Structure 1
Amino acid sequence: MKKLFALADRYLQESDWKTMAMLKFCLLGLGIAVGAMVPSKYKKTAVAVGLPLFFVTYLPLMAKLIHLAAEQKAEDLEEDYV
C-alpha cells in the first residue's frame, strides 16, 4: 500500500492543472455512468451516500485552493511594494 501511495504522490507532483482537470472529468463521467445504472428503487440511497461524500471531499479541496489564492495575493502585494 505504501508503494501505491508513493506512486500517487509522484504522479501528482509531475502533473499540472490540465492533468488534474482531466482526472476530475474522468471521475465525473464514471460517477454519471454508475448513477445511470442504479435501479430506481436505490437512487435515493445512492444520492444519500454520494452527496455527503462529494461535500466531504469538495470542501477541503476548495479550502486549500482559497488558502493558496490568498497566499499568492499576499505575495503579489508584497512584490508591488518592494
Structure 2
Amino acid sequence: MNVDHEITLLTEEIRRLGSKNADGKTSVKFGVLFNDDRCANLFEALMGTLKAAKRKKVITFNGELLLQGVHDNVDVVLLQE
C-alpha cells in the first residue's frame, strides 16, 4: 500500500467525521474514527496509518498507541488543513 495515499485518505476522513476544536484545528475522537464503517473498509490497519501520519506530522494524538475501547475519547487532531 502507498503510505502517502493512505494518509491522504485519513485526512479526508478526519475532515468528514471531525469538527473544529478550540484551536481551530479539525479534531475527531479515536472511537468515532475506529467505529466508522467507511473507515473500517478503507483502512486495513488504521493504527498503522495513524502512526505513519503522526510520524510525518500530519496529525497528532496523545500516546504512542491507541486501542479501541480504552482510547475511544482520545482526540486525533489534524495539523495540516
Normalised by the shorter chain, which TM-score bucket? under 0.3
Higher relative contact order (CA 8 A, sep 6+): 2
| Greater helix content | 1
Normalised by the length of structure 2, the TM-score is 0.27
| Greater strand content | 2
| Structure with the greater alpha carbon radius of gyration | 1
Normalised by the length of structure 1, the TM-score is 0.27
